[in-house]
Each structure stands twice: as C-alpha cells, then as structure tokens.
Structure 1
Amino acid sequence: MALQTAIPVSFEAYFPRGAFMVGEVEPVVKWSDDGERQGQDLDKNTGHPLWQVRVIDADPDARKGQNEVTVKISSITEPSAPPEAQGLPFRPVFFEGLSVTPYVKEGQGRPRVAFSLRAREMKPAPKQRSNE
C-alpha cells in the first residue's frame, strides 16, 4: 500500500548542517486544470493558506542540483522571514513540524523519486555556540 500521509522528519535529520532561506516568502499559487491562476492554494488538512520559501541545504556533500529545495508552510498569516546572516542574502532558518512526502516525478528521461517538504512553522535558526 502506498503512503497516504506525509512522513514526519526532524529538521536535524533532513538538514544536518543547517539551512538558509533565500529570496522571499511567496504564496503558493493554485492552478486550475486548464492552467488558469485561481489565487492562493490552501492546505488540504488545515484549510490555511500555503506559503513557500526557497532553501539552500548547507550540507557540502549535497549533490549538484539537490542543494536547493522549496519548503511549503501552512499558515493563516504570511510567515516572517528570519534576519539575514551578517549582511549576506542568506537567512539561517529552522523548521518546526517538518514532513516529507515522496512522489514520482515524470519528465525528461526516466521517472525519479522526488520529495515535497512541508513545515508547520518557520523560525530563525538557533545561534551556534562558539565551542562547536
């Protein structure tokens, strides 16, 4: 039987070296079957609007093309972006209630397994201790 729900995963397990938000928080667009924009998409479980952020995986061993992911957040209000890191365009970020949904991505070449990431909440990453 195929999985019917998302798989909960800890932030530390998915992003062992941390993660950085790039860009801005954006609404997830809902599209009709005929390709027309229909406003903002809603979470099927909560009914709350869906937001998305682009995230860079800080793991230096992440394979080319797999170090940037999109995380969707279900929230009544637009999530606040964490502050930038030392004037750089990167924002250290932490996700509460992270879950992964695997799916088969069709396209050019062979089908492959891809992952959709969802989070309950986005927060600034905790400060690193100086002795780590």
Structure 2
Amino acid sequence: MTEDRDMAMPRKINIQFGEVFPHGVYAVSEVTQVRDFDRSTKDRPVYSVDEDSGLNVWSVDVMDGDPEARKADRQLSIKILAKQQPVLPPANGLPFTPVEFDGMAATPYVSDSNGRPRLAWSFRATAVRAPKNAPGQSKPAA
C-alpha cells in the first residue's frame, strides 16, 4: 500500500551554472522586469516579486551554446532575482553577449506543448556576469 505524502525534495534545486550549460550561454535580449499578469491591468502594470526573497524578478533570453541542443531547447529565459535591474556585461564586438549566472536554481515542471507532456526546467539566478574566459576579454599577464 502506498501513502500520499509530501516529499522531502525541495521545489527549487540549487545548481552550478556549468552543470546546466557546459558550453556557455549568450544573452540575446536585454534584461527586462517581469510583469505580474494576474495583478496588472491594461493601464497599471504590476511587476513580479519573488515570494521567498522579496526581490524583483527580471528576465533575460539566452541561447544555449551547446551545438547538439535541440532547436526547441536552444533558446530560453533565465529569471534573475535582484533589487535593481541587472546589467549585462559588454558584448565586446560580438553579435550576442556571453554571460554566466551565479546563485542558480532549477525548478522542474511538466510542459504540455503539442499534446506531448514532457519534463521541463525553469531557471533562476541571483546575478549575471561576464564568463571568466569570455571571447574578447584580455588575458592576465603571465
């Protein structure tokens, strides 16, 4: 006999950037504040606040650098929890901005696109920055 009970698994799983994106990611949009569609009206926008931290929720669209990523999984949005709008690092002449995220957490959910349920992930972070070895960055002198 099985018993229904709450699992000890957390809803949000803390992860390291390199575990999820070993090939890196590239910002393909500006950082924008996430609108709370349930509380907003046509004339009065209300913006999302993270219920756990009380921080504003921002979003940036990124492209996964994995050359083998499926087309449908290549572009995604990363939510950033921050008091003020995060600033992307300079693109250094590249068409897209290489970025890394700190303080990442992943939340699993079931996506039911095209009538085919599948496990999907929502990603949050506490900061965005330039990668340690970003193209176009000057290397430290030896």
Band the TM-score falls in, shorter-chain normalisation: 0.7 to 0.9
Q: Match of 2:68, SS?
A: coil
Where does structure 1 differ by over 6 angstroms across 4 or more consecutive aligned residues? none
The higher radius of gyration belongs to 2
Shift in Å, 1:41: 0.4
2:87 is aligned with 1:80: yes
Choose from 26, 37, 45 the match for 2:32: 26
- Are 1:39 and 2:63 counterparts? no
1:58 maps to a residue whose letter is: G
The residue identity in structure 2 corresponding to 1:93 is V
Post-superposition Cα deviations, 1:70-126, rounded to whole Å, max 9, x if no partner, equal: 1001100000011114x2231110111111100012343122211100001111111
Number of residue equivalences: 127
In 1, Cα distance between equivalents of 2:91 and 2:113: 35
More helix by share: 2
Instruction: Give the structure 2 partner of residue 58 of structure 1.
Output: 65
Equivalent residue for 2:3?
A: none
Q: Distance in 1 between matches of 2:113 and 2:27?
A: 27
Residues 18-48 of structure 1: CA deviation (Å, up to 9, x unaligned): 1111110011110117x84641101111111
Query: Is 1:116 aligned to residue 122 of structure 2?
Result: yes
> Amino acid of the residue matched to residue 48 of structure 1?
L
**Aligned-partner residue type, residue 117 of structure 1:** F
Find the residue that maps to 1:113 and give its secondary structure. strand
**Amino acid in the other structure paired with 1:42:** V
Gaps of 5+ in 1: none
CA RMSD of aligned residues (A): 1.9
5+ long unaligned stretches in structure 2: 1-5
Normalised by the size of structure 1, how large is the TM-score?
0.86
